[in-house]
């Protein structure tokens, strides 16, 4: 139904952002919402996917059309729902993700929340050789990397990052395991903490 929403970023929360357009605030679930922290109060275009179920309706958001297209391919895999797909997108090493599929690396794929061995095998079966848009997506991400503001880091930023990981489906055990390492990284923005945390979680 919706292709994108162009509006002002009114709020950024650990699991979603609120974009206001024509007086309506749209709750949009997004991988690492804090990528949009610098867009607060600014007009921004977010590509969206509307997920409609019998008892709920949710909007999932993406910063590029390529990111949305990868999401659509993921949710077409049996066993991958929208939230699991979002958790995969949150880890920005998409090159590593695609390579794991090409190499049938089940161990790597099961590191994502909600992805068991059976689902990982299905990902390989369904997507191997079918992610030709990946290189464009990776370049878009690399060109849009957030520059860390070392004067802005705080305990609050770390707490927001931990909350964002829980919203993506990672367990409290997962976040507790990496917390001490995260506390050594002072002076990071929430976005920076999330990027580092996701990198650490994929090394488990």
- Euclidean distance between CA atoms 165 and 179, whole angstroms: 11
For residues 78 and 115, membership in a common domain is answered with yes
Could you tell me if residue 28 is inside a domain?
A: yes
Counting Cβ atoms within 10 Å, is residue 120 exposed (0-12), middle (13-18) or buried (19+)?
buried
Percent of the chain's residues with pLDDT above 90: 44
Could you tell me if residue 167 is inside a domain?
A: yes
Could you tell me if residue 197 is inside a domain?
A: yes
Q: Which domain holds residue 25?
A: 4-62
For residues 34 and 91, membership in a common domain is answered with no
Q: What CATH code is carried by the domain that includes residue 110?
A: 1.10.150.20
Say what the pLDDT of residue 132 is. 65
Does residue 16 surpass a pLDDT of 90? Answer: yes
Does residue 170 surpass a pLDDT of 50? Answer: yes
Report pLDDT digits (tens) over 62-121.
998 888 988 999 999 999 999 999 999 888 777 788 889 999 999 999 999 889 999 999
**Last residue in a domain, options 118, 143, 168:** 143
Does residue 194 surpass a pLDDT of 60? Answer: yes
Could you tell me if residue 149 is inside a domain?
A: no
Could you tell me if residue 68 is inside a domain?
A: no
Could you tell me if residue 93 is inside a domain?
A: yes
For residues 56 and 94, membership in a common domain is answered with no
Task: Output the average pLDDT for the chain.
Answer: 84
Say what the pLDDT of residue 91 is. 83
For residues 129 and 176, membership in a common domain is answered with no
Q: 172-183 vs 155-168: helix axis angle to the nearest 10?
A: 150
Model confidence at 148, in pLDDT bands (50, 70, 90)? very low
For residues 78 and 120, membership in a common domain is answered with yes
Does residue 41 surpass a pLDDT of 60? Answer: yes
For residues 91 and 112, membership in a common domain is answered with yes
Higher pLDDT, 142 or 110: 110
Could you tell me if residue 69 is inside a domain?
A: no
How many domains does the structure of the chain reveal?
Answer: 3
Does residue 203 surpass a pLDDT of 80? Answer: no
Q: What CATH code is carried by the domain that includes residue 55?
A: 2.40.50.140
For residues 117 and 81, membership in a common domain is answered with yes
């Amino acid at each position: 139904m919706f292709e994108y929403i162009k509006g002002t970023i009114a709020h950024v929360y650990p699991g979603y952002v609120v974009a206001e357009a024509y007086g309506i605030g749209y709750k949009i679930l997004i991988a690492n919402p804090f990528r949009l922290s610098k867009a607060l109060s600014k007009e921004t275009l977010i590509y969206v996917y509307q997920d409609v179920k019998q008892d709920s309706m949710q909007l999932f958001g993406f910063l590029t059309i390529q990111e949305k297209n990868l999401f659509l391919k993921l949710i077409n895999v049996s066993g991958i729902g929208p939230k699991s797909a979002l958790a995969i997108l949150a880890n920005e090493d998409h090159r590593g993700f695609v390579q794991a599929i090409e190499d049938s690396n089940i161990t790597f794929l099961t590191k994502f929340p909600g992805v068991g061995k059976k689902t990982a095998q299905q990902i390989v079966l369904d997507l191997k050789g079918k992610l030709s848009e990946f290189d464009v997506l990776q370049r878009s991400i690399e060109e849009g990397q957030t520059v860390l503001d070392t004067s802005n880091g705080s305990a609050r930023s770390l707490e927001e990052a931990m909350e964002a990981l829980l919203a993506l489906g990672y367990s409290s055990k997962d976040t507790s395991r990496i917390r001490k390492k995260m506390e050594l990284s002072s002076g990071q923005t929430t976005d920076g903490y999330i990027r580092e945390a996701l990198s650490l979680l994929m090394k488990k």
